[in-house]
Structures are given as structure tokens and as C-alpha cells.
Chains A and B, each alone.
Chain A
Amino acid sequence: GDSVTQMEGPVTLSEEAFLTINCTYTATGYPSLFWYVQYPGEGLQLLLKATKADDKGSNKGFEATYRKETTSFHLEKGSVQVSDSAVYFCALSVDTGRRALTFGSGTRLQVQP
């Protein structure tokens, strides 16, 4: 079946540090890939997405590149801020008619001033 594996958290960084959160996937079809972010006390928000191999999704300084050869979709940001502290979820959707997303377990990011 489809699955998403994320690195364990929490990830603790100082402000302006470089961020990488690893995400790998297995899928029965050709998936679209997503990163969602959950700020404290809120629902999930779409951060970025990529729908085909080698696409790069980007938003708010975050980037992730769809790597079919390594089945990965790692999230990166060059300089994190305290306001980026949140839980980040990698997810996939396969175009097999089943519309539900498959989520990873989430990675908590804590950015210290």
C-alpha cells in the first residue's frame, strides 16, 4: 500500500539556521506530493505541492523537489524563523480514484531565538 515516512522529531534549530526535513514515500501509482503545516492550535494548511517528477514546490521560503528516482520529497528552508515553529506533515495522493491523502507521522520543528 501507499505510505509516507518522515524523520522523527522534534527538530530544534536556532533562528536563521538551515532546515531539512526528510520525507520518503512508497506508492502504487504516480503520486502527487504535498507538505502541510500545522501551527499550534490550528488545522493543517497546505504549504507546497509537486505533481510530477523533478517539480519543485515552493512557498514562504520553503522548497521541496519531487525526486522519483529516490522516492523522496525533502522539505528545505535556508533560514528559519521563530514563526516557523510548527508540525510539518508530508503527504501523497495517488490518482487511482481514491481521493484520500496518505500522511506521514509529522515532524515537530522548534526554532529558538
Chain B
Amino acid sequence: DAGVIQSPRHEVTEMGQEVTLRCKPISGHDYLFWYRQTMMRGLELLIYFNNNVPIDDSGMPEDRFSAKMPNASFSTLKIQPSEPRDSAVYFCASSLNRASSYNEQFFGPGTRLTVL
């Protein structure tokens, strides 16, 4: 398996523009997570899905952020409009819904977002 795939790897945009980050989880995984990593706040959970359904979005900073999972193999995280304080590395992760997995999560390489 190719692992969790994220695109783009790097994104530079201007304040006010819409940004869409993409994630393809590992095939067969039931859970998908979006995290944000910054120097100031460390690694934060934004939202996670189970079987394509959002379960917990309490970490989404504000209404400018939205996430969707239209099918088991694809998810998007959208920021509209983007602001400089959104600059961060965004990670996608996936995991199995098996008791034996003990919630081990597999991370993608991340998307480094810079908002000018």
C-alpha cells in the first residue's frame, strides 16, 4: 500500500484566497483524521471521520474551515477565506476500526501551507 497520500505537499497563497487540501487514506481504513501543526500550538486535531461521517469537529478553528469526506478514499479540508495565521503544516491520518489496532494512526507527509 502507498500509505496516506496528501496533496499538494506545499501551498503558497495570498490572504483571502480559498485553499483546498486533499487526502487519500489507506485503503480499508475506517477512520480519517485532520491535524494541524504549528510551532506555537503543536499538533492539534481538527476533525475526524468514521465511515465518511464527521464524528468530532470541535477542533475546527472557525467557520472558515470545512472538511468533507465524499467517499472512503478521499477527503478535503478547505479554508475560505485564508488568513496568514492559518499558515501551518496540515496532516491527514487514517486508522482501522479494529480492537487489535489500538487506534494506531498512519500519517501522511503533510501539506505545508503558507498564507501571505
Question: What is the interface of chain A, defined by CB distance below 8 A to chain B?
Answer: 32, 34, 36, 42-46, 49, 51, 89, 93, 98-101, 103, 105-106
Contacts and interface: CB of A to CB of B under 8 A. Distances in A.
Nearest to A105: B42
Interface stretch (B13-21, B62-70, B80-88, B104-112): B104-112
Contacts of A42: 109-110
Given A42-B109, A43-B4, 13 more contacts: A43-B91, A43-B108, A45-B107, A46-B105, A46-B106, A49-B104, A51-B102, A93-B102, A98-B56, A100-B33, A100-B48, A101-B45, A106-B42
B3 to A, nearest CB: 9
Q: Interface on chain B toward A: helix, strand, loop, or mixed SS?
A: strand
Contacts of B42: 103, 105-106
Interface string B72-86: 000000000000000
The 6 closest A-B pairs by CB, nearest first: A43-B107, A93-B103, A32-B102, A44-B107, A105-B42, A103-B43
Given A44-B91, A98-B56, A100-B48, A34 B104 contact: yes
A98 to B, nearest CB: 7
Contact of B50 (A44, A99, A101, A106): A99
Contacts of B105: 44, 46, 101
Nearest to B100: A51
A42 B104 CA distance: 18
B31 A99 contact: yes
Nearest to A97: B55
A51 B105 CA distance: 14
